[in-house]
Amino acid sequence: MKFLVNTNIWLEILLKQSRSFEAKNFLHRAEPGTVFLTDFSLYSIGISLFDSKQYETYHKFAEDIMVRGNAGLIRNEMMDLEQMALACKEFGLDFDDAYQYVAADKYDLDIVSFDHDFDRTKRGRKTPAQLIK
């Protein structure tokens, strides 16, 4: 199995929120080469951390994930915009969720997220706890 790890999983860890242990545990157990995030997530995490003046946290995260190669970076292209619009309409997703959904579909990845919105989609989602079992 290969996984698209949604933005909220990474932020859960970085912001030391209530389910950070669960998220960390999943990431530590994931096989090398099975964890991916989108460019949109990478930038969204940057926006969130910069808003709270956590510049060094973002730098360390980006270095750990991208430079040390713990996760692969994927992206949607302009030709994927129509699929994103269709996902918004069909499943009632907002833009960021549609971006993640289309990327997961394009690269055939299981979505790992705490976001219930993905439950309405054909791909669904799994939580870190479900994957640890």
Go through the chain and tell me how many residues it has: 133
Question: What's the pTM?
Answer: 0.94
List the domain range (segments joined by +) for residue 40: 3-132
pLDDT reported for residue 12: 96
Q: What does the pLDDT average to over 30-54?
A: 96
Domain total of the chain? 1
pLDDT given at position 74: 96
What phi and psi values does residue 74 have, to the nearest 5 degrees?
Answer: -125, 165
User: Is a pLDDT exceeding 90 seen at residue 97?
Assistant: yes
Structure confidence at residue 133 (pLDDT)? 76
H-helix or E-strand spanning residue 37: strand 35-38
Please state, in angstroms and rounded to a whole number, the distance separating the CA atoms of residues 128 and 112.
7
Backbone angles phi, psi at 58, to 5 degrees: -65, -45
pLDDT at 68 over 80: no
The CATH number of the domain where 11 resides is what? Answer: 3.40.50.1010
